[in-house]
Amino acid sequence: MKGILSAILSALLRATHGMRRGGRRLWHHARLASQLRYPVPASVVIEGRAFVYGTGAIRIGERALLYPHLYLETQQQAEIVLSDDVVLSTGVHIAARAGIRVGRGTMIGEYTSLRDANHAREEGRPVRDSGYVTQPIVIGEDVWIGRGVIVLGGVTIGDRATIGANAVVTRDVPAGAVVAGVPARPLRG
């Protein structure tokens, strides 16, 4: 009897898997949309919770794919703009005080961090109270950013560039370039 019930329950769970997954996506979509200033297109697929902090000034393009555990923060007048067909993998961290733009078709690997601000230092004041130095980040179209990459403020990454896993990008990357390392440097072919 136990085996029969187990088989029935397993069959029921398999039969409803797609419906449950769709329901979770819909829930996460609605939750994210409720936290943003701008509408989230219906074509955006959200696989899990995104944590939104600050002003909620985040624009998401059509057909974006957002994996779980994203951290999205905007402060002051900054916006985060994710163009059409962008993929943000699990644990991506994007914090904007000046502005961050990600071009169409760009894929960003797990646990990557894009931060357009650094703490400033003022004589006689703790770093926490010394403000920030901010510069926007611009990432071109069809860029592939590997797992664990850090992109700092003021950087522009050109179209079709590739950034190797765990690189720290401190300066501009030309279109089509392949860079890796700390700090990121072009790889020789």
DSSP track, 22-38: HHHHHHHHHHHHHH-SS
Distant-in-sequence, close-in-space partners of 101: CB < 8 Å, separation ≥ 6: 80, 81, 83, 136, 137, 138, 139
Point out the residues that are catalytic. Answer: 119
Q: What is the DSSP string of 139-181?
A: E-TT-EE-TT-EEETT-EE-TT-EE-TT-EE-S-B-TT-EEET
